[in-house]
Amino acid sequence: MLEIDDVKVALDSEAGIVRAIDGMRLTLRRGETFALVGESGCGKSMTALALMRLLPENGRITQGQVRLDGADLLALPESGMRAIRGGRIGMIFQEPGTSLNPVMRIGEQIVEAIETHTELRGAAARARAIEWLGKVGIPEPERRIDDYPFRMSGGQKQRVMIAMTLAAEPDYLVADEPTTALDVTIQAQILDLLKDLQKERGLGLLLITHDLAVVSGMAHQVALMYAGQIIEVASAEAFFSKPLHPYARLLLRALPEADRRGEALAAIRGTVPPLWLRFEGCRFEPRCDRAFGACATTRPELIDQPGGRSVRCLLYAEDAPASALAPGEAGVIERIEVVPRAIAASTPKPGQRLLEVDRLAVRFPIRKGLLQRTVGHFDAVDGVSFNIETGRTLALVGESGCGKTTTGKAIVQLLRGQALIEGTARLDGRDLFTLHDDALHEARRAIQIIFQDPFASLNPRMRVFDILEEGLLALCTDMDAPARRAALEKLVDQVGLRRDALERYPHEFSGGQRQRIAIARALAVSPRLIVCDEPTSALDVSVQAQILNLLAELQREFGISYLFITHNIGVVEYIADAVVVMQKGRVEEAGPADRVLGSPQSDYTRTLLAAVPRVAQTATS
Residues 373-402 pLDDT 10s: 888 888 999 999 999 999 999 999 988 778
pLDDT of residue 188: 84
Domain hosting 269: range is 242-316
Q: Are residues 360 and 487 in the same domain?
A: yes
Phi-psi region of 19 (alpha: psi -120 to 50; beta: other; left: phi over 0): beta
Is the torsion defined by CA of 213, 216, 220, 223 positive or negative?
positive
For the cut 70, the answer to whether the pLDDT of residue 323 exceeds it is no
Last residue of a domain, one of 316, 341, 361: 316
Q: Are residues 269 and 393 in the same domain?
A: no
Percent of the chain predicted with pLDDT > 90: 44
Rounded to an integer, what distance in angstroms lies between the CA atom of residue 90 and that of residue 171?
Answer: 8
Phi-psi region of 295 (alpha: psi -120 to 50; beta: other; left: phi over 0): alpha
pLDDT of residue 334: 35
Average pLDDT over residues 121-150: 92
Asked if residue 428 is part of any domain, the answer here is yes
Asked if residue 189 is part of any domain, the answer here is no
* Rounded (10°) CA dihedral 169, 175, 180, 183: 30
Mean pLDDT of the chain, nearest integer: 85
* pLDDT band per the 50, 70, 90 thresholds, residue 322: low
Q: Are residues 453 and 546 in the same domain?
A: yes
DSSP 585: T
Q: Are residues 441 and 299 in the same domain?
A: no
For the cut 60, the answer to whether the pLDDT of residue 412 exceeds it is yes
Summarize pLDDT for 238-251 with one digit per residue, the tens: 999 999 999 999 88
Q: Which helix H or strand E contains 580, and what residues bound it?
A: strand 578-583
**Structure pTM?**
0.77
What is the CATH number for 477?
Answer: 3.40.50.300
Q: Are residues 307 and 360 in the same domain?
A: no
* Rounded (10°) CA dihedral 228, 232, 234, 239: -110
Asked if residue 335 is part of any domain, the answer here is no
pLDDT of residue 181: 65
Q: 391, 559 in Cβ contact below 8 A?
A: yes
Rounded to an integer, what distance in angstroms lies between the CA atom of residue 550 and that of residue 527?
Answer: 14
Rounded to an integer, what distance in angstroms lies between the CA atom of residue 444 and that of residue 438?
Answer: 10
Asked if residue 120 is part of any domain, the answer here is no
Q: Are residues 399 and 484 in the same domain?
A: yes
Summarize pLDDT for 20-61 with one digit per residue, the tens: 999 999 899 999 999 999 887 888 889 999 999 999 899 999
pLDDT of residue 338: 35
Q: Are residues 364 and 477 in the same domain?
A: yes
Beta pairing partners, 581: 397, 589
Asked if residue 434 is part of any domain, the answer here is yes
Backbone angles phi, psi at 233, to 5 degrees: -130, 130
Rounded to an integer, what distance in angstroms lies between the CA atom of residue 95 and that of residue 32?
Answer: 25
> Within 13 Å, how many C-alpha atoms sit on residue 175's CB side?
35
* pLDDT band per the 50, 70, 90 thresholds, residue 328: very low
Asked if residue 339 is part of any domain, the answer here is no
Query: 99-133 burial, b for 16+ CB within 10 Å, e for fewer?
Result: bbeeeebbbebbbbbbbebeebeeeebbebbbebb
Q: 93, 124 in Cβ contact below 8 A?
A: no
Residue 318, C-beta contacts closer than 8 angstroms, at least 6 positions apart: none
Higher pLDDT, 243 or 452: 243
Last residue of a domain, one of 269, 298, 316: 316
Q: Are residues 494 and 594 in the same domain?
A: yes
For the cut 60, the answer to whether the pLDDT of residue 304 exceeds it is yes
For the cut 90, the answer to whether the pLDDT of residue 110 exceeds it is yes
For the cut 90, the answer to whether the pLDDT of residue 106 exceeds it is yes
Summarize pLDDT for 164-200 with one digit per residue, the tens: 998 988 999 999 888 776 778 878 888 888 888 888 8
> What is the total count of domains within the chain?
2
Distance of CA 562 to the CA centre of its chain: 19
Backbone angles phi, psi at 397, to 5 degrees: -125, 160
Summarize pLDDT for 149-159 with one digit per residue, the tens: 988 877 788 88
Asked if residue 54 is part of any domain, the answer here is no
Percent of the chain predicted with pLDDT > 70: 93
- In degrees, to the nearest 5, what angle opens at C-alpha 92 toward C-alphas 163 and 186? 55
Q: Are residues 367 and 450 in the same domain?
A: yes
Average pLDDT over residues 102-127: 93
pLDDT of residue 617: 52
Rg (CA), the chain: 25
Last residue of a domain, one of 257, 290, 316: 316
Q: Are residues 363 and 477 in the same domain?
A: yes
Q: 539, 40 in Cβ contact below 8 A?
A: yes
Q: Are residues 563 and 481 in the same domain?
A: yes
For the cut 60, the answer to whether the pLDDT of residue 569 exceeds it is yes
Asked if residue 606 is part of any domain, the answer here is yes
Rounded to an integer, what distance in angstroms lies between the CA atom of residue 468 and that of residue 302?
Answer: 41
* pLDDT band per the 50, 70, 90 thresholds, residue 237: very high
Angle at which helices 246-253 and 541-558 pack, to 10 degrees? 40
Q: Are residues 385 and 476 in the same domain?
A: yes
